[in-house]
Amino acid sequence: MSLTRRQFSAAAAMSAAVPQLPGKVLAQQTGGAGPSAGAGPMEVDHDMSSMPAHWMGSEQIAFLVYPQFTALDMVGPHHMLTSLMGAKVHLVARTRDPVQSDTGLVVMPSMTFDECPADLDIICVPGGSHGTLAAMKDDATMLFLKDRGNRAKYVTSVCTGSLLLGAAGLLAGYRATSHWATKGLLPLFGATPADGRVVVDQNRITGGGVTAGIDFGLTLVGHLRDRQYAEGVQLMAEYDPKPPYSAGTPERAPAEVRTLIEGMFTGFVSDADKESRIAFAKFGRLQ
């Protein structure tokens, strides 16, 4: 089987988990740095003929990107989901113009709303702060999200991306999560706030704040393939977090740190409450 360089990274890890047959597999090098870049086929000691058939999929996955989104909300799960062999992962925006994140990282959309497949396996919405609220006010963005979300097999988000799902009417009646500072707004959309870095309710899968997107992506990998496949992807990424501090949740953070950060969110949460109500009234009940 012919593998792209990205797929080979996953396949090499996966093949170590299944019985090997004699032979080699060729992985095509497609760019990168160093003397081997662009050198053509690379012979590798992994035979993928024994790979379980369900490890090769054909998913159509779209990440919605919009000005001032939070980059890690997208990049973390993007890394995990691009490890799904056979899947096609798209970065979708209003235009193909570069989109700047809230930290200045610039991404290039791979397709526009009009070019995006009508029937997606997964649509994923990253969060942000005021960029997210601006997206709520954009008719084209919200109508695209509502249309693809109503048709997708899995409707997903990371961090405050769940506010956009909610505003589009895609979370009513579901349990969901968001960034801890905005999770309390989910009932505005008829959703039930739930604990956990990743919350799964039928085909709605939401991740908590920022770094939870990595857990979210890996959870989806296991759901769409199997545990062994997901463990191989986790090992390839050496995802074994041991943070230097234990202040990653409001419950564990020192009181003075929590008070400081909560104070920084006061204005945003107030704005998000206002804009969420307006957007949900406009788009959430739209048939």
- Quick one: pLDDT at residue 103? 96
Beta strand 122-125 pairing with 154-158: parallel
Mean pLDDT within 85-91: 98
What is the C-alpha separation between 44 and 34, in angstroms, rounded? 18
At 229-242, the pLDDT tens digits run: 999 999 999 999 99
| Residue 40 in this model has a pLDDT that exceeds 50 | no
What is the C-alpha separation between 111 and 116, in angstroms, rounded? 6
Name the DSSP letter for residue 249: S
Catalytic site positions: 159
At 160-214, the pLDDT tens digits run: 999 999 999 999 999 999 999 999 999 999 999 999 999 999 999 999 999 999 9
What is the C-alpha separation between 114 and 10, in angstroms, rounded? 31
Q: Are the CB atoms for 151 and 145 separated by under 8 Å?
A: no
Q: Are the CB atoms for 140 and 94 separated by under 8 Å?
A: yes
Amino acid at site 248: G
Structural domains of the chain in order of their starting residue, each with its CATH number: 5-51 (no CATH), 54-238+265-284 (3.40.50.880)
At 117-145, the pLDDT tens digits run: 999 999 999 999 999 999 999 999 999 99
- Quick one: pLDDT at residue 8? 47
pTM: 0.86
- Quick one: pLDDT at residue 186? 98
